[in-house]
Amino acid sequence: MGSMENGHSTERRFGTLAVHAGAPHDPVTGAVIAPISLSTTFAQTSVGSPVGLYEYTRSSNPNRDNFETAVAALEHAKYALAYSSGSATTANILQSLARGSHVVSVSDVYGGTHRYFTKVADAHGVTVTFSPTIELHVEELIRPGETKLVWIETPSNPTLGLVDIKAVADIAHRHGILVVVDNTFMSPYVQNPLDHGADIVVHSVTKYINGHSDVLMGVAAFNSEDLKERLSFLQNAIGAVPSPFDCWLAHRGLKTLHLRAREASKNATAVAKALEASQHVISVNYPGIDSHPHRKIAIKQHRDGMGGGMLSFRIKGGQTAAHNFCKYTKVFTLAESLGGVESLCEVPSSMTHAGIPKDQREAAGVFDDLVRMSCGVEDAEDLLADVLQALEKADKANGSA
Ligand SMILES: *Cc1c(COP(=O)(O)O)cnc(C)c1O
């Protein structure tokens, strides 16, 4: 398959791989950028002898192969498989488990992942146990013979708690259990979970990898032949595959991931520090600064101890202040999602996490006054000025209310 052709070169650094992995020149025309292969079917010269590597686009497509090759290189994986969304990626992995399988997951997973684990997996006989303290309790939650997967999301959403991947993987592997890490929030530039012992890394490509808020896609990357067999069979059988155009766009986005991730991380660090210094703020969750309770894990697990582009903070003045803050920002757009070049903010308790009962939400630190921010790649000075003016305005509006 094309996704293996270029393999993964350990000698090249991240930026070089981002630009060149899975991006060969067209051997016929010399085109530096691959054309978009919209053809759904590929000619054969005799029965069973296709002209090239391809037969039918659901099974494989040149643009999807190129994108998968690039992601595999960036995640230090042998293989990557792309899907029509991050959610479809999760569903494919869960569907690879036999009836009667059990999964241990961190509590703080993405809302759609939680929904699949609690409302869909059950229908094909897979049960999930959630743990808020997985590093401490994974061993006692393992059911011998039944537990097949441990699911980690680090950092967590929206409180940015970190999980020590290696600590959990060491325990899981002693019991022959695979570890999946959802690496969407960090992107392959900041964190490579396979290097810390994870067996599968998944991404909502919709976020940092594409990075321009114009593609919905997912990807899984891993090293095992056996996983390659099982997951690529399901990728084709279930058919939740991305379009060639989306693969082409996501591949274009990925080529600048290192530049975007560095800027976003720098901006988030500046914003986090300004928030921490503000009298209008109760507390800040950002793994890139020393006040973060899991800062040691960030230093061990993230490139140069970077914190990434995501942060959250509690504003003084309750839910009203949180809503007002997001209304008064001018550079930060009030919207769900994350990881794009443009900065976004939202109030999880009223938006992305509104579906979780209040007591459960608050136990996980998601209070009504929590604001989540995705820092983009605008100029830090403008982001800081925007945040500071919105804090002032939200405070004044509360005072006069
Ligand atoms: C967005 C997201 C998903 C789901 O991805 P979609 O592409 O929206 O289906 C999964 N995990 C995390 C952490 C996400 O942010």
pLDDT digits (tens, 9 = 90+) for 306-318: 999 999 999 999 9
pLDDT range class, residue 360, cuts 50, 70, 90: confident
Calpha distance 148→344 (Å, rounded):
37
pTM of the predicted structure, to 2 decimals: 0.95
**pLDDT given for residue 84 in this prediction:** 98
**pLDDT given for residue 311 in this prediction:** 98
pLDDT tens digits, one per residue of 316-353:
999 999 999 999 999 999 999 999 999 999 999 999 88
In the annotation, is 314 catalytic? no
pLDDT range class, residue 10, cuts 50, 70, 90: low
Q: Are 4 and 68 in contact (CB under 8 A)?
A: no
Which of 205, 150, 168, 167 has its CA nearest to residue 183? 205
Summary mean pLDDT of the chain: 95
- CA-153 nearest atom, ligand 1: 13
Which residues are 129's β-sheet partners? 104
Q: Residue 3 pLDDT more than 90?
A: no
- CA-90 nearest atom, ligand 1: 10
E strand or H helix at 226: helix 225-238
Tokens read off for 233? 């069979």
H-type alpha helices, 97-164: 111-119, 134-141
**pLDDT given for residue 56 in this prediction:** 97
* Atom 8 in ligand 1: residue holding the nearest Cα: 86
Active-site choice (79, 83, 110, 328): 110
Helix axes 86-95, 111-119, angle to 10 degrees: 30
Dihedral sign, Cα of residue 87, residue 83, residue 145, residue 133: negative
- CA-157 nearest atom, ligand 1: 13
Question: What average pLDDT does the segment 189-218 reach?
Answer: 98
Close Cβ partners of 216 (under 8 Å, ≥ 6 residues apart) = 84, 85, 206, 246
Q: Residue 151 pLDDT more than 90?
A: yes
* Atom 4 in ligand 1: residue holding the nearest Cα: 86
Which of 340, 342, 320, 353 has its CA nearest to residue 386? 342
Testing ligand 1's pocket by substitution, the residue of 206, 246, 372 carrying the most ligand atoms inside 8 A of its CB is 206
**pLDDT given for residue 5 in this prediction:** 43
Contacts of 117-126 with C-beta under 8 Å, sequence gap 24+, read 117/151, 120/91, 120/94, 121/94, 124/94, 124/95, 124/99, 125/98, 125/99, 125/100, 125/101, 126/94, 126/97, 126/99, 126/100, 126/101, 126/102
87 lines ligand 1 (CB under 6 A): yes
Q: Residue 380 pLDDT more than 70?
A: yes
CA of 401 to the centre of ligand 1 (A): 37
Percent of the chain whose pLDDT exceeds 90: 93
258-400 belongs to CATH 3.60.40.10: no
**pLDDT given for residue 1 in this prediction:** 36
**pLDDT given for residue 356 in this prediction:** 82
Classify residue 273 by its DSSP letter: H
Which residues are 372's β-sheet partners? 312, 346
CA atoms within 13 A on the CB side of 221: 31
**pLDDT given for residue 400 in this prediction:** 59
Domain boundaries, the chain: 12-254, 258-400
pLDDT tens digits, one per residue of 24-45:
999 899 999 999 999 999 999 9
Q: Are 64 and 216 in contact (CB under 8 A)?
A: no
Question: What average pLDDT does the segment 224-234 reach?
Answer: 98
Q: DSSP string spanning 69-87?
A: HHHHHHTT-SEEEEESSHH
Show the CA angle centred on residue 280, arms to residues 277 and 281, nearest 5°: 65
- Cα distances from 245 to residues 30, 98, 238, in angstroms, run 20, 34, 20
216 lines ligand 1 (CB under 6 A): yes
**pLDDT given for residue 253 in this prediction:** 98
Active-site choice (64, 78, 148, 207): 207
Question: What average pLDDT does the segment 69-73 reach?
Answer: 98
Which of 46, 52, 146, 54 has its CA nearest to residue 104? 146
Q: Residue 9 pLDDT more than 70?
A: no
Question: What average pLDDT does the segment 71-86 reach?
Answer: 98
182 lines ligand 1 (CB under 6 A): yes
**pLDDT given for residue 364 in this prediction:** 87
Tokens 């290192």 locate to 258
- Which SS3 state, helix, strand or coil, does residue 358 take? helix
CA of 398 to the centre of ligand 1 (A): 34
Q: How many helices (H) and strands (E) does the chain have?
A: 15, 14
| CATH classification number, 12-254, choose in 3.40.30.10, 3.40.50.620, 3.40.640.10, 3.30.460.20 | 3.40.640.10
pLDDT tens digits, one per residue of 234-288:
999 999 999 999 999 999 999 999 999 999 999 999 999 999 999 999 999 999 9
207 lines ligand 1 (CB under 6 A): yes
Active-site choice (58, 115, 252, 266): 58
CA of 84 to the centre of ligand 1 (A): 11
**pLDDT given for residue 108 in this prediction:** 87
In the annotation, is 83 catalytic? no
